[in-house]
Amino acid sequence: MLYNGFVSELIIQNSDIILRLVTAVAFGMLIGAERILVHKEAGMKTHALVSMGSAVFVLVSEAIVQKYINLPGLNPTMIPAQIIVGIGFLGAGSIMLQGSRLLGLTTAGGLWVTASIGMAAGFGLFGLAFISMVLVLIIFVVINILEKPIRKISDNINKTD
């Protein structure tokens, strides 16, 4: 009985944090699901982890600001700024050169924007996170459909050269 009371209390006290993290994970998973559908390298787990990790770093940043609010020289933007740099390295690792073609650029861009969605969720900007996620999925799905005929034309031109 003590355990159930503890868990209930923990959930109630941290409902805002739980909502932020679940939002980041869910939106990251939706973006990753689309990547799986087009057989790309980074899928649901990767995108969910990047998004949630970004949200956690933002929550840590907010907690540090609350705890050390009177500390001179405190810059609450330092942690979120480093997320961008870290995700840049993760994205760079997903880019490969195969012959004369670069592969993984869309995956790298997807991871980068998923981190920003996680940051928005971490800051409690749910509308921004949701709208961004919808736009990412539109870019991945709709533009993929529009790109196919253009790529066919491009491949035909390259074959005749």
Q: Is residue 47 over pLDDT 60?
A: yes
Q: Give the total number of structural domains in the chain.
A: 1
pLDDT tens digits, 1-32: 567 777 788 888 888 888 988 998 899 888 88
Rounded CA-CA distance 123/125 in Å is 6
Nearest to 83 by CA among 44, 111, 43: 111
Q: Which domain holds residue 109?
A: 2-160
Q: Is residue 102 over pLDDT 70?
A: yes
pLDDT tens digits, 106-160: 888 888 888 989 988 988 889 889 998 998 898 888 887 887 887 787 777 767 6
Rounded CA-CA distance 83/115 in Å is 8
Q: List, in sequence order, the alpha helices (H) in 94-125.
A: 105-122
Rounded CA-CA distance 118/21 in Å is 8
Check residue 1 and give its pLDDT: 55
- Note the maximum CA span of the chain: 76
